[in-house]
Structure 1
Amino acid sequence: MKKRLVSILLTVAMCMGLAVPAVAVEIRPEAQKENVTITECDILGKTAVMEQHIVDREIDYVKITCGTEIAERIGNEIFLNGEKVATIVELEERNIDAQNIEPRTGWLDVENCPYGTKSEYNKLYSSQYRNLALEKKISELTVEGLSYILMTYCGVAGVCLRIAQEIISVAVDSKYEEYKTLYLYERIYSHKTLGQFYRMVDLDYYFDKNYTEFACNDYFYRVWA
Structure 2
Amino acid sequence: MADKSDKPEKAKKEQKQEAPAAEAAPAQKKGGKKEKATKPAEGAEAQHGKKQPKIKKAEEKAKDEIKYIVRIANTDLDGTSTVQYALTGIKGIGLRVSKVIARKAGVDPNAIMGYLSAEQVDRIKNVVDNIDTSLPAWMLNRRSDIYTGENRHLLGTDLILGVKEDINLMKKIRCYKGIRHERGQKVRGQRTRSTGRTGATVGVIRKKEAPAAAAAGAGEKKEEKK
Structure ID, larger Rg: 2
The higher-RCO structure (CA 8 Å, 6+ apart) is 1
- TM-score, normalised to structure 1's length? 0.22
Structure with the higher fraction of residues in strand conformation: 1
- TM-score, normalised to structure 2's length? 0.22
Structure with the higher fraction of residues in helix conformation: 2
